[in-house]
Structure 1
């Protein structure tokens, strides 16, 4: 009897140990790694890294971080939980031919993308959008390059914000966004929520170059409110307009401070629609083939009176003095 009891106890202990081992094998880590020579069957540890961001994110706990051990192309990824992908000191790239680079789609999630190179590929297999924000609480894009997304409209955007509800906080810092758009469609960043969605966008020390439109915010599809604040930022070489605020349904409130809009083939700064208010100060608008400062359809464009607006085909004027 004692022997049978002992055998039963040992069997139970072994079962418990196996369950614990199984649980630990499937536990998600708070920090994982990818490498150009990794493998997605690995646990994504530093000594056994994964090959792709998609492989690593499935093994990373919500709120965790994915780091790059060495330069590599780590593929496209859809993010549905709070996560940081940080490759600041090595090149972590995503080649996004015929697809989106990174999709963010999770209720209430906070996402940080740092030190990435998101490439739209060649025109023959054009990437759709660099970053597509569908749902989330916040997004930080820092020290990142997003380039050459040339799919036809409604795609062809470096960063597209198209949430249907709520008001996410989105920050773009120290980044370069270039070569996005196709024909008359597309932009470096396009903020265009739908439904009741709004957005709060902050852009700091970022360059938009050679996009169809550099910076575009529109409430044509939403009753929500868009705030855009851009500082120490340059918009150049757009094949259409440099900066466009379009408040045709919900309000757009855009603040431009120490911003340069130069050498665009269309207008420098456009404010369109009765719900659009653009305020501009300490900024340079020059060399644009259209009008430097222009309003349409009852838009408002207010100046703090300390801008340099010259050498455009037509310089234009602000509609009012902004309150200091």
Structure 2
């Protein structure tokens, strides 16, 4: 009789232990879950889960809590910090609440989403102003497709958008403005600088309904090295673009006869 009672007691202990471990496991899974949509706010807190009622303060925190292919939305105007994107995602400043990124002395957005990554940047303002200007607003290292829509880029030392060698990306830019970009370039005999700079032979930038004002030059397709040579990348400009007041004319010159294509 005592043996039977002891066995029942052991079974009860085993059951409770299993239930406790299961609860811990489920709790850990819930804690590590990533949401399809997250939110940031100028008065948010990065300790929050980035939900609509408990938003984060920075894009960097929100992206770590957002699932691949998900969306980060801005609840109200604010400065949300620089961010590195390593997966497919949509960053949306949201109409009426444009998200701002100040990137003095550093790059604003780095995109390294892999060969199949699709990144969308929408309704953002990127400003590299400061004692030391930020080099580049958007630096594409690797992606399949990047969509840049309704973005304002200003005050950069090297470029507004750079597509790096090996990026292998198609970059679609529309309703976007570039002001005062690429105005403090590195050694111009070694490094190209422009509002839009393509250093990759297998990448193409498609530009439409956009403007480039007061920049070093509108377009660059020079690779790194001395003497500088054309990268072979392409910039296709079409549909109501404007290039005014830049240091170098946007008309293709003899050093880049095939890389920059204009379609009206």
Which interval holds the TM-score relative to the shorter structure? 0.7 to 0.9
Query: Under a length normalisation based on structure 2, what TM-score does the superposition of the two structures give?
Result: 0.86
> Secondary structure at the residue paired with 1:88?
coil
Structure 1 portions without partners, runs of 5+: 244-268, 283-324
Distance 2:207 2:263 in 1: 15
Change (3 A) 1:230 1:76: same
Aligned to 1:237: 245
- Taking the aligned partners of 1:274 and 1:132, their CA distance within structure 2 comes to 22
Q: Deviations over 1:239-271 (max 9, x none)?
A: x2232xxxxxxxxxxxxxxxxxxxxxxxxx123
Aligned length: 246
2:203 aligned residue: 199
Contact 2:89 2:120 in 1 (8 A): yes
Q: How far 1:163 moved relative to its partner?
A: 2.9
Larger strand proportion, structure 1 or 2? 1
Does 2:159 align with 1:157?
Answer: yes
Contact 2:136/2:159 (8 A) holds in 1 = yes
> Compared with structure 1, are the counterparts of its residues 222 and 79 closer, same or farther at alpha carbon in structure 2 (3 Å cutoff)?
farther
Pair 1:34-2:16 in alignment: no
2:82 to 76, 87, 101: 76
How far does residue 273 in structure 1 lie from its aligned partner after superposition?
A: 3.7
SS at the partner of 2:11?
helix
Whether 1:44 aligns to 2:18 is no
**Which TM-score applies when normalising by structure 1?**
0.71
Mapped to 2, the partners of 1:6 and 1:37 lie a distance apart of: 49
Per chain length, whose mean CA-contact separation is higher, i.e. which structure has more relative contact order (CA < 8 Å, sep 6+)?
2
Q: Deviations over 1:70-116 (max 9, x none)?
A: 11000001111111100132120000010000011131211000000
* 1-structure distance, mates of 2:47, 2:109: 22
CA contact (8 A) 1:271 1:278 kept: no
For residues 18-39 of structure 1, give each alpha carbon's deviation from its aligned partner in whole angstroms, at most 9, with x where no partner exists: 1111111111111111111111
Q: For residues 1-324 of structure 1, what are the structure 2 equivalents within 5 Å? A: 1-89=7-95, 90-108=97-115, 109-122=117-130, 124-149=131-156, 151=157, 156-164=158-166, 167-182=168-183, 186-193=193-200, 197-218=201-222, 224-226=232-234, 228-238=236-246, 240-243=247-250, 269-273=251-255, 276=258, 280=262
CA-CA distance at 1:48 after TM superposition = 1.0
